[in-house]
Amino acid sequence: MHAIVISYGFQVNLFVSNALLYLYVDFGCLREAVMLFPKMAVKDSVTWSTMIGGLVHNGRSGSALKLFCRMMLNSTILITRFILLNVIMACAELGEWKEGKWVEENYVCCNGFEFKCDPSVVTALIYMYAKCGMLDLSVSLLHGIEEVRDGVVAWNVMIKGCGELGLVEKAVGIVIEMQKIGVDPDAITFLGILPIISSIPSLKTGMEAHAQIARRGLVEEGMELLKRMQEQCGLEPSVEMLILAGRLTDAYHLIKDNSSEHFKNTILWGMLLNASCSCGDLVIGEAASKHLLSLDPENQANYKMLSDIYVSLGRRDESDNLLRISMSRGLHLGPGCSWMEGVYSLQYM
């Protein structure tokens, strides 16, 4: 296509060149876009916005900020909403909140710029500050403009920013606060909060973390959000969510039905087994381990985990019998093998 444009002499046409530039960045052909950009004799705000945005969306946020500075120093291009949004997103990706603050002070809050009350620009700043851990600045912007505060989008980006920083309590608190002032969560809210709730508790920290989080009431708050998610948006919590939220009995009842699509999913059963052992729920652990053994009788980890559960329950004879069965199958049980969160495979320690 580019060759055809050149052959017909349209490369000097700004609209055609802008379209080519957008084509390259949209398909991730950043090398070609970078080569085309300096060859464009005329550049307008669309040209700069497309190139800056292309760099941001292709993981080159640092280069995007440098290009923005070059634009401001060497051109008379007026700042547009799209340029600002791309620059703010670059600051967010880099964690450069001070750069973002400078952009806000010079191109958003200054007299003569129409972006001070622009919901999309303000929302982008809210996300940038939240992602950089500057939640006070996010909250200040959120409550500063009624149109932004009363809409769900800005709240959602704050939740997303907290989630990316692992700020579980802050994220859950934001969802609760937005409901208190009359802003109803939407499907995006719940899709944003679900992976955050899934870290309550972390399977890696086991019973101690679960006890600490339960004392703060986060498990209950998380499950209340799951309930609202079902009622308002028709979204069902996944088995994985229930497991990671510590609701092992609920998760077990959801996947034990042989008509369920999860009935033969060894990954989910392995997660349930590991979670039950971490939390000390050996009844669920025994059931999960037996089911895993029936699904995968050649997996030595399944024998080891069930054997350890029998020992913990004081059923040494059953443990010894299980070990004899595994040996008869030619399976050697190492000193420690378990289902580990995240990897969804066996790790030998």
> Which residues touch 325 (CB under 8 Å, ≥6 apart)?
303
Each residue of 63-111: pLDDT tens digit?
Answer: 999 999 999 887 788 889 999 999 999 999 999 999 999 999 888 887 5
Question: 230 lies in a domain?
Answer: no
Question: 321 lies in a domain?
Answer: yes
Do 127 and 161 touch, CB atoms closer than 8 A?
yes
Each residue of 14-39: pLDDT tens digit?
Answer: 878 888 888 888 888 888 888 889 88
Question: 326 lies in a domain?
Answer: yes
Each residue of 141-193: pLDDT tens digit?
Answer: 998 888 888 999 999 999 988 888 888 888 888 888 888 888 888 767 876 77
Looking at the DSSP bridge assignments, the partners of residue 348 are 337
> Which residues touch 331 (CB under 8 Å, ≥6 apart)?
298, 300, 303
Do 45 and 14 touch, CB atoms closer than 8 A?
no
Question: 179 lies in a domain?
Answer: no
Question: 187 lies in a domain?
Answer: no
Do 306 and 290 touch, CB atoms closer than 8 A?
yes
Whether pTM > 0.75 for this model: the answer is: no
CATH number of the domain at 345, please. 1.25.40.10
Domain that includes residue 269, residue range = 245-349
Question: 344 lies in a domain?
Answer: yes
Question: 249 lies in a domain?
Answer: yes
DSSP tag of 41: S
Question: 155 lies in a domain?
Answer: no
> How many domains does the chain divide into?
1
